[in-house]
Amino acid sequence: MPRLAPAEGVTFQTTDEGGILLDRSGGQLYGLNPAAAVAWNALVAGGSVNEAVAAVLNCFDVDADTARGDIERLTATLQDRGLLTSTP
């Protein structure tokens, strides 16, 4: 099963408002809300979308379907922007 990892040159920093992704290659900053920051950490720790959903459900009062949809959209957006890659 492929694992997700930050793309080369992408760093993450936790903030009081969630987190910041820095794409050093393009000089872009991206803000993540608190739930997205939890999902990012779960995903790049080698977790699956299911594990990211569980992490978000553990931290926030949200239903599983909403969390799953949001995390799937987040993952797709991060991959489309070259911030998150899939590795074998």
Q: Where are the domains of the chain?
A: 7-81
Give the model's pLDDT for residue 26.
84
pLDDT of residue 10: 96
Report the pLDDT averaged over residues 25-38: 94
Those residues with Cβ within 8 angstroms of residue 3's Cβ, 6 or more apart along the chain or in another chain: 46, 86, 87, 88
Evaluate whether 38 touches 24 at the Cβ level (below 8 Å): no
The CATH class that applies to domain 7-81 reads mainly alpha
Please report which confidence band the pLDDT of residue 21 belongs to, taking 50, 70 and 90 as the band edges. very high
pLDDT greater at residue 27 or residue 59? 59
Report the share of the chain in percent with pLDDT over 90: 85
Q: What is the pTM of this model?
A: 0.92
